[in-house]
Amino acid sequence: MSNDFEKMASELQESIMEDARKVYSEKVIERWLNPRNLGKIRNPDGFAKIRGPCGDTMQISFRVKDGRLSKIKFMTDGCASSIAAGSMATELAQGKKIEEAVEINQQMILEALKGLPEESVHCALLASNTLKEAVKNYSDSKKCNFGKSEIKSRDAGI
């Protein structure tokens, strides 16, 4: 009985993965199933939480040491693509100087993920805009200018 159940569960899982592989790159699937930097940093130097047009939210928190993002984490209540995008945004930002981190945009996240389906590209925008807002939050707290012009010119949609 339990063997039948395990077999059925394993077949179901394989069928879900087969469907996912038709739509998503291996990078997206891998980050979705094993996201990097998932969580929230206590007493962060920079923090932002944004709600996308789809209604899902993402938050990013980070610490800065010697002008670089020494630790960064994200959380989302969104879809598989938003989990992969949040993971990739934080991976790209980790260790970067503040002024480099704020340059990370939707396109860079999409390229690093080897693309997303057209209907999910906004999930990468949610991740890049959350990162930019978190840098702005850091910038505001330090009364410096990193992120301010990028926030004004960030991609439309959120």
Catalytic residues: 54, 123
100 membership: H or E segment, kind and range: helix 98-101
Among 126, 131, 135, 158, binds ligand FES (CB under 6 A): 126
The alpha-carbon radius of gyration of the chain (Å, integer) is 17
CB 89 within 8 A of CB 127: yes
Residues near ligand FES (CB under 6 A), total: 10
Cα–Cα distance, 79 to 85 (Å, whole number)? 10
Tokens 């039948």 appear where? 4
Does 123 sit near ligand FES (CB under 6 A)?
Answer: yes
Does 52 sit near ligand FES (CB under 6 A)?
Answer: yes
DSSP 8-state symbol, 146: T
Q: Which region, judged by CB under 6 A, interacts with ligand FES, from 28-36, 39-47, 60-68, 120-128?
A: 120-128
CB 86 within 8 A of CB 57: no
Q: Binding to ligand FES (CB under 6 A): which residues in 59-118?
A: 78-79, 81-82
**How near is the Cβ of 144 to ligand FES at its closest, in Å?**
30
Residues that bind ligand FES (CB under 6 A): 52, 54, 56, 78-79, 81-82, 120, 123, 126
